[in-house]
């Protein structure tokens, strides 16, 4: 059974930092592109960042470029999102999601975690 | 960046009725790389459709997708009580891999 379990969320002050983790199991993690998607309270889904199977290619939404860094450790089956210079508008549930396949299918998502809440507030 | 606009924002229908949800892209979606997701309150999204018209594993055949280029449609032929949820389209052909703002399907 595929499982994605996010952790690391919490309350942080504006300008602060947080690192999210996503522990994966039930599939070959090193064969799957991975993505972070967020959802502000009561709002829609926003694609945040994606990473290739090797970690050699990374992609970011303009809203987080230069502040967030996605990475992965295939030996630990874990995906990360380092978030710096956090703003109130970064407040959201952050989901990690598994890519469906290869090529362009890396960037649609067949399994999702349950999310971790990040609140940016003073 | 491709902007996806979904309509209507809210759709009120009764079980057994047909639902038609629209997703319009600001520019052509490469090779119809368009997906649909369903999200229920307190849950993560679930993949329904990909490639505009292919059902994901385990999705019942009352769900169908169509369209190409900039205009796409998700149709639910006969609504079941469990289908009332929020639906999102997503394009995965061009980074950033954007989502639409969602259509809420509610019970009338």
| B84 pLDDT more than 90 | yes
> CB distance A110–B56 less than 8 Å?
yes
> CB distance B47–A107 less than 8 Å?
no
Q: Which of B33, B44, B96 sits opposite A115 (nearest CB)?
A: B44
pLDDT in tens, B1-37: 999 999 999 999 999 999 999 999 999 998 889 999 9
> What's the confidence (pLDDT) of residue B30?
85
pLDDT in tens, A30-52: 999 999 999 999 999 999 999 99
Q: What is the rounded CA–CA span in Å between residue A75 and residue B15?
A: 48
> CB distance A112–B44 less than 8 Å?
yes
> What's the confidence (pLDDT) of residue A105?
87
Q: Which two tokens stand for residue B23?
A: 């997703």
- Minimal-distance CA residue of chain A relative to B102: A44
Q: What is the rounded CA–CA span in Å between residue A49 and residue A90?
A: 13
Q: What is the rounded CA–CA span in Å between residue B50 and residue A66?
A: 31
> CB distance A45–B95 less than 8 Å?
no
The DSSP letter of residue B56 is P
Give yes or no for A2 touching B (CB within 8 A).
no
> What's the confidence (pLDDT) of residue A122?
95
pLDDT in tens, B30-59: 888 999 999 999 999 999 999 999 999 999
Task: For chain B, give the percent of residues with pLDDT over 90.
Answer: 96
The parts of chain A modelled with pLDDT lower than 50 are none
> What's the confidence (pLDDT) of residue A103?
84
The DSSP letter of residue A5 is E
> What's the confidence (pLDDT) of residue A10?
97
């Amino acid at each position: 059974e595929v499982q994605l379990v996010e952790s690391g969320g919490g309350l942080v002050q504006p300008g602060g930092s947080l690192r999210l983790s996503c522990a994966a199991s039930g599939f070959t993690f090193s064969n799957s592109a991975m993505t972070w998607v967020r959802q502000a309270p009561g709002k829609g889904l926003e694609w945040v960042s994606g990473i290739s199977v090797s970690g050699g290619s990374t992609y970011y939404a303009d809203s987080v470029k230069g502040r967030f860094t996605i990475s992965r450790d295939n030996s630990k089956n874990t995906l990360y999102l380092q978030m710096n210079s956090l703003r109130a508008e970064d407040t959201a549930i952050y989901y990690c999601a598994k890519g469906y396949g290869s090529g362009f299918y890396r960037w649609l998502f067949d399994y999702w975690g349950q999310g971790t809440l990040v609140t940016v507030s003073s | 960046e491709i902007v996806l606009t979904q309509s209507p924002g809210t759709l009120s229908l009764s079980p057994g009725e047909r639902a038609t949800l629209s997703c319009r892209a600001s520019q052509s979606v490469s090779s119809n790389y368009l997906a649909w997701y369903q999200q229920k309150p307190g849950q993560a999204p679930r993949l329904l459709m990909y490639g505009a018209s292919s059902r994901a594993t385990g999705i019942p055949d009352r769900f169908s997708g169509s369209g190409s280029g900039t205009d796409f449609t998700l149709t639910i032929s006969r609504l079941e009580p469990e289908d009332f949820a929020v639906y999102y389209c997503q394009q995965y052909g061009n980074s950033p891999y954007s989502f639409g703002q969602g259509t809420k399907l509610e019970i009338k």
